Structure 1
Amino acid sequence: MAEIINLRQARKARERIVKDEKAAENRVAFGRPKKARTLAESRKAVETARHEGHRLRGDDPEA
């Protein structure tokens, strides 16, 4: 005998999967909030400035 399936639940489960896939694509496409992006950028700028400040010589690329 075949297993009985509730068609409404199957439809909703299928729609939920599609919705989750779309949400995952949007997370990749739109990324983080603006506040998090600007915070990371400013931290990276400070870190780069500190790192460059410890150079022993000037801007000579061959040194």
Structure 2
Amino acid sequence: MTLVSLSKARKARAKAADKAQAAENRVAFGRTKAEKARAQADASRTARHLDGKRLEP
């Protein structure tokens, strides 16, 4: 039987959760300026394309 400090186990679990959250944030927000600009250009191009296809009553 091993003795485990509950406070150390809790801190280790919290640290692992923080690392996982940081990894998700790097994926979501860690894009270069060029990648962000390209994504915005694609979104605006798609919006313009759809607006051009819209039928007005």
TM-score (norm 1): 0.49
Alpha-carbon distance in 2 for matches of 1:29, 1:12: 26
CA distance in 2, matches of 1:20, 1:6: 21
| Alignment match, 1:37 | 33
- Give 1:11 deviation, angstroms: 0.2
Deviation at residue 37 of structure 1 after TM alignment: 2.0
In structure 2, the residue matched to 1:3 is 2
Task: Mark the runs of 5 or more structure 1 residues left unpaired by the alignment.
Answer: 42-63
Q: Aligned with 1:5: secondary structure?
A: coil
- Unaligned residue ranges in structure 2 (runs of 5+): 38-57
Normalized per residue, which structure has more helix? 2
TM-score w.r.t. the length of structure 2 is: 0.54
Q: CA deviation at 1:25?
A: 0.1
Q: Distance in 1 between matches of 2:2 and 2:26?
A: 37
Structure 1 vs Structure 2 CA RMSD: 1.7
Deviation at residue 31 of structure 1 after TM alignment: 1.0
> What is the number of equivalent residue pairs in this alignment?
35
Which gives a bigger RCO, structure 1 or 2 (Cα 8 Å, sep 6+)?
1
